[in-house]
Structure 1
């Protein structure tokens, strides 16, 4: 598993059905390394600190392989890495195999898996279609939030080297499925 793309976003105000929505979900690839800090990715905009950023959600990663699934559902979108609001687009990431607490060495950093992303309406704003929120929920393609144990730079091409894993811990998909059932 390696970094396919590093992505940053800027603050945007969108008129969504007559209501102004402020968001940082519009992320796009950048060519420079990202500095992953303890509570955030430097130079990335977080508009809602209640649900984004912080120690347990400092970095969001999403798999390039999941893009294929959603491209079939939304073939007319202008697809770029960062579409799901991720800071890191990874070559492969399988939520059914990644456990809470798994730690990785990536570039200058050490990252720990914390939890899945729970989609909100801003994903629908990004896709210009609220159906994507339910489709996202009904998959296990949630992506992964990481805690930054050692801050530093990461760049495109950096490998994820697994340092430790406890297979007795739940997978990200297990947690995501449980959350989905609780919301139903």
Structure 2
């Protein structure tokens, strides 16, 4: 395994807000933070996660979205290009240099002074479409396998802007985050031929494929 380290270019913290015609509570609107944040077992101190069914909890403590992916959205939906900027997907941390094809489920990283592990992709919900005002965002995320990923926290610590994210360990027989979407899509489209591994090391229970 080759050692890999990138800089945390942005830390984003969400406060309670509403979205959609029914003013549904949400924490997807996040703002850039210049301060240091404690990383607890449930995520970054100060960040709100409203709907615990789909966000938050030990297996979805921190959401990481690669800044590189925004260029694809800008190309696909140029009339919304100004909207596709780091932080707008609802991520907690933004980096350049690591993507869903390079990061594997179960990868362990040092994030600031904490130790975190990749647990699962982010499954986009209707709020992503609503936030950008376009009904195709979630489907584009899944079809292109550019969802970003969640971390579980193995050791608590502190995170400040500019801190490093350093790969420490990779599980044997692990697979890239992007490959999870190949498995997911093949389950619903029988024309897609894909054989899932029997065991995917490090994957959250809610994403286990039977």
Could you state the TM-score of these two structures normalised by the residue count of structure 1? 0.91
Is the 2:83–2:132 Cα contact (8 Å) retained in structure 1? no
The 5 Å alignment of 1:60-99 reads 60-75=63-78, 76=80, 77-99=82-104
Is the 2:73–2:84 Cα contact (8 Å) retained in structure 1? no
Is the 1:108–1:154 Cα contact (8 Å) retained in structure 2? yes
The 5 Å alignment of 1:130-141 reads 130-141=135-146
Is the 2:13–2:32 Cα contact (8 Å) retained in structure 1? yes
**Aligned residues, how many?**
182
Deviation digits for residues 21-70 of structure 1 (CA, Å, limit 9, x no counterpart): 22111112111122221012211111101111111110000111111111
Deviation digits for residues 63-116 of structure 1 (CA, Å, limit 9, x no counterpart): 111111112234333444211110001122221221221111121111111111
* Partner of residue 202, structure 2: none
2:149 equivalent to 1:144: yes
Q: Give 1:3 deviation, angstroms.
A: 0.7
Specify whether residues 169 and 54 from structure 1 end up closer, same or farther in structure 2 by C-alpha distance, changes over 3 A only.
Answer: same
What stretches of structure 1 move > 6 A for 4+ residues in a row? none
Q: Give 1:167 deviation, angstroms.
A: 4.6
Q: Give 1:176 deviation, angstroms.
A: 2.2
**Hey, what's the Cα distance between the residues in 2 that align with 1:167 and 1:142?**
23
Is the 1:28–1:81 Cα contact (8 Å) retained in structure 2? no
**CA RMSD in angstroms, aligned pairs only:** 1.6
SS, match of residue 96 in structure 1: coil
2:20 equivalent to 1:47: no
Could you state the TM-score of these two structures normalised by the residue count of structure 2? 0.81
**Hey, what's the Cα distance between the residues in 1 that align with 2:130 and 2:84?**
15
2:30 equivalent to 1:27: yes
Is the 2:61–2:151 Cα contact (8 Å) retained in structure 1? yes
* Partner of residue 175, structure 1: 180
**Hey, what's the Cα distance between the residues in 1 that align with 2:188 and 2:57?**
23
**Hey, what's the Cα distance between the residues in 2 that align with 1:180 and 1:82?**
26
- Say which one has the larger Rg: 2
SS, match of residue 69 in structure 1: helix
2:127 to 94, 97, 122: 122
SS, match of residue 62 in structure 1: strand
Unaligned runs of 5+ residues in structure 1 are none
Q: Give 1:9 deviation, angstroms.
A: 1.0
